Amino acid sequence: MFSYFIDDELSLVLLQKKDAPVIYQLIDKNRSHLREWLPWVDSTKSVEDSVTVIQMWLQSFANEDGFSTGISYKGEIVGIIGFHKICQRNRSSSIGYWLSKDAQGKGIMTRACRALIEIGFREYDLHRIEIRCGEENHKSRLIPERLGFKQEGIIKDGEWLYNRFHNLVIYGLTKDQYQAIDSK
């Protein structure tokens, strides 16, 4: 099983079908918190829905065109982070993430993102990584801003989310920018 050690508290783990009940319970417990910014929450209605998405993530990992991992904090899954579709031709991808409400404010997502960025640039030889956040999702926007991503633009009405459109902020980081930050 793929596992990436970050520090004594934190690691990224490739989820298996057996993890579906844990993922579903985490989503269900955080439903109102996650629903504010994520379009798939209402369609996650059962453990079987979590099995389906984990199988999709495993297939993406096997195809080497993306993957999602559980964020394990002190041995407990507290969220998800991963690369959406990896474009081999352009050597680029985008990061998606979510974290349980109880796990926020501990630097978990910043550390997990930093690790995923390192994997992307060093292991997958990506040239560019992008993160898109809801314009009004200030907590999520802090992550790329802390990690040296540059705001590249705003997609007006870029996402339909629960009966209204939301603007999306696009953040980008190239390998050269990352190496300049990493060398400081």
Domains of the chain (ranges, CATH numbers):
3-183 (3.40.630.30)
**Alpha carbons 183 and 170: distance in angstroms, whole number:** 25
**How high is the pLDDT of residue 162?**
86
Per-residue pLDDT of the chain (184 residues; tens, 9 = 90+): 578 999 999 999 999 999 999 999 999 999 999 998 988 888 899 999 999 899 988 898 888 888 999 999 999 999 999 999 899 999 999 999 999 999 999 999 999 999 999 999 999 999 999 999 999 999 999 999 999 999 999 999 999 998 899 999 999 999 999 999 877 6
**Which alpha helices (H) appear in the chain, and where do they start and end?**
20-29, 31-35, 47-63, 108-118, 138-146, 175-182
Q: What percentage of the chain's residues is helix, strand, coil (to nearest 5)?
A: 40, 35, 25
pTM, whole model, 2 decimals?
0.92
